[in-house]
């Protein structure tokens, strides 16, 4: 099982407009809503790759209810199998928990729920065979505040996206403590954990460092994907891998040179660093070597979720024991295929299969 942590979950709304014009009214041509936040996007892709995934973090209020119903594959109108109030009785819902460790109810009185994923299957990096989508288990912790919304406005003429992100609910000290108990229980059955995204109001800036330490103590590989001061604090706890983009890496290290900045990030505590360089691919500096992976073609579309798909590629490759070049090849192909999909958390399967064998991975060898 792979555990993904999304402390600031979101209901992702995508509005398509024929053309986005500043200071003008627009008629929306198409609308979609999905359960979102970086870790939930990662989980959706992992499921499509055939990996059983548990998602945890916070959800609350009416938006949180809709998020969980969508995550479960239910329509917002059908709530008979779900009651999100702590301790409330529930209708029969299929459940699966981690392979080992604690099962049963969460600190908030909510059972883990096995969720049939609706994402399309995709092949692994070294195989053309497709895996059946694996279940995603909902282990989110209920909070009193309302889960945030993110709004992506996609210009269907240019393919460009304008993103609006709400801040998220205020999380209390008691809610944070309840989450920590649940997180430690879930680590017992995890093969790897991804800590993803921004922190909601009320969570201290060193929260990710607090989550990295028990994962490492349990021997669970941990990937950290955040930015700013939470990344700076988290990296000091020595995560196994971080995945900053170019701007986040420059903010962390003060350098715009990708190789220099990535090496600097390793010196600050990360065992491995994979820098996302946008259309130029990825750069990995690891204990096993340095590689650069580049997509065969530049793609244009909605970049929302592309970094999350890359995280899924890296994590799945780690759990499967793939060599670094194959992990990077998968991550780059998934990222590019996500840009070609209009909705966060999805990737274009046909594009992924076509791109995968064409991703170029070169090992960097220091000059003699």
Q: What is the pLDDT of residue 116?
A: 39
Render 293-349 in DSSP notation, one character per residue: EE-SS---S--TTHHHHHHHHHHHHHHHT--HHHHHHHHHHHHHHHHTSSSTT---H
How far, in Å, CA of 38 to CA of 197, rounded? 5
Q: Can you tell me whether residue 55 is helix, strand or coil? A: strand
Q: What is the pLDDT of residue 149?
A: 96
Q: What is the pLDDT of residue 304?
A: 77
How far, in Å, CA of 242 to CA of 326, rounded? 18
> What is 2-363's CATH number?
3.40.1190.20
Q: Are the C-beta atoms of 193 and 219 separated by less than 8 Å?
A: no
Domain spans, the chain: 2-363
Read off the pTM. 0.82
Block mean pLDDT (10 aa), the chain, length 368: 97 92 93 91 93 96 95 46 34 31 35 40 43 88 96 87 92 98 97 97 97 97 97 97 95 94 95 92 95 89 85 97 96 92 76 93 76
Q: What is the pLDDT of residue 343?
A: 61
Q: What is the pLDDT of residue 210?
A: 98
Q: What is the pLDDT of residue 123?
A: 40
């Amino acid at each position: 099982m792979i555990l993904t942590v999304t402390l600031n979950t979101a209901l992702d709304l995508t509005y398509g407009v024929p053309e986005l014009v500043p200071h003008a009214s627009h008629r929306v041509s198409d609308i979609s809503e999905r359960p979102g936040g970086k870790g939930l996007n990662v989980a959706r892709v992992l499921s499509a790759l055939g990996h059983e995934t548990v998602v945890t973090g916070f959800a609350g209020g009416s938006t949180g209810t809709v998020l969980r119903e969508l995550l479960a594959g239910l329509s917002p109108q059908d709530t008979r199998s779900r009651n999100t109030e702590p301790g409330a009785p529930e209708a029969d819902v299929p459940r699966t928990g981690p392979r080992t460790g604690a099962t049963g109810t969460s600190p908030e009185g909510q059972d883990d729920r096995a969720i049939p994923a609706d994402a399309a299957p995709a092949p692994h990096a070294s195989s053309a065979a497709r895996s059946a989508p694996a279940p995603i288990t909902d282990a989110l912790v209920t909070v009193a505040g309302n889960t945030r919304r993110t709004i992506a406005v996609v210009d269907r003429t240019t393919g460009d996206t304008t993103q609006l992100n709400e801040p998220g609910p205020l999380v209390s000290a008691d809610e944070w403590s309840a989450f920590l108990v649940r997180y430690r229980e879930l680590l017992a059955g995890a093969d790897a954990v991804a800590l993803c995204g921004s922190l909601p109001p009320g969570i201290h800036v060193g929260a990710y460092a607090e989550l990295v330490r028990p994962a490492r103590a349990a021997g669970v590989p941990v990937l950290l994907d955040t930015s700013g001061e939470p990344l700076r604090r988290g990296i000091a706890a020595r995560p196994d891998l971080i995945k900053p983009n170019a701007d986040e890496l420059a903010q962390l290290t003060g350098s715009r040179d990708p190789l220099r900045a990535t090496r600097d990030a390793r010196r600050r505590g990360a065992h491995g660093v994979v820098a996302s360089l946008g259309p130029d691919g990825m750069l990995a500096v690891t204990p096993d070597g340095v590689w650069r992976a580049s997509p065969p073609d530049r793609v244009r579309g909605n970049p929302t979720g592309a970094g999350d798909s890359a995280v899924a590629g890296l994590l799945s490759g780690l759990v499967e024991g793939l060599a670094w070049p194959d992990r990077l090849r998968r991550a780059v192909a998934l990222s590019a295929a996500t840009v070609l999909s209009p909705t966060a958390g999805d990737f274009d399967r046909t594009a992924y299969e076509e791109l995968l064998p064409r991703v170029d991975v070169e090992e960097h060898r220091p000059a003699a």
